[in-house]
Amino acid sequence: MTIHIGAAKEDIAETVLLPGDPYRAKWAAETFLQDVRLINETRGMLGFTGTWNGNRVTIQGSGMGMPSLSIYVNELIRDYDAKTLIRIGSCGGMQEQVKLRDVIVAMTASTLSTPSRGIFKELNFAPCADWGLLRAAVQAAEAKGTDTHVGGIYSSDVFYDERPDLNEQMVRHGILGVEMEAAELYNLAARHGRRALAVLTVSDHLLTGESMPSDQRERSFGDMVEIALEAAFA
């Protein structure tokens, strides 16, 4: 048990999926896992452990933004010895070829700032995914026939940024989509020698203004969860 996770050490699996929304964690666990147990509800941030194809998996909500994710990932690694951590969540598309409901597998995550900034000081560290997980996720997506894009994303440290000039540069440099967590996940995984990946579903689009209706989001996120699970145990 930690300050933010009320689970016993043996309740957390070595493989952890990290949706930001605790209710998405509940939906994913009940939809894709067997023998599911609620193992955390501290501060309303739900966590579940079950099995997928005989493999133990924990799905733990991480909240919105890098500061929140940093708390949960630090505790999952330091106190529960999680080995593989995969963020699953939504993102905004930033390239014309990226469409609503497409999946993005994040190879790198650019950012202006993360909670690790104080550690890195003047270093502009380049957060990147674990190659083995990345390769396995791409292979799983190809096998499913899912429309998938692989490349760099932008992890924003604010939601309402009022920076059209910054978005313009992201688009210019080929950034596929924007979200708010992956860069710090990759930082922490690198620091502690763990495997990390972000698999994201495009729920809205910064160029076209399109947005997926809320009642369609969960149904459209199934491919993302399956790709993450298959990559974790490839």
The set of catalytic residues is 204
Q: Is 92 annotated as a binding residue?
A: no
Q: Is 88 annotated as a binding residue?
A: yes
* Pure H helices in 38-176: 66-78, 117-120, 131-144, 164-172
Q: Is 89 annotated as a binding residue?
A: yes
Q: Which of 129, 114, 91, 107 is nearest to 184 (CA)?
A: 114
Q: Is 191 annotated as a binding residue?
A: no
The amino acid at 121: K
Q: Is 20 annotated as a binding residue?
A: yes
Q: Is 181 annotated as a binding residue?
A: yes
Q: Is 45 annotated as a binding residue?
A: no
Q: Is 90 annotated as a binding residue?
A: yes
Spell out the long-range contacts of 168-175 with Cβ–Cβ below 8 A and sequence spacing 24 or more.
Answer: 170/94, 170/110, 171/94, 171/95, 171/206, 171/207, 174/95, 175/94, 175/95, 175/110, 175/151
Distance from C-alpha of 48 to C-alpha of 41, rounded to nearest angstrom: 9
If one counts every other C-beta atom within 10 angstroms of the C-beta of residue 135, the result is 15
Q: Is 132 annotated as a binding residue?
A: no
What are the structure tokens assigned to 83, written together?
Answer: 């080995």
User: Which residues define the annotated binding site for a purine D-ribonucleoside?
Assistant: 4, 179-181, 203-204
* Binding site feature residues for phosphate: 20, 24, 43, 87-90
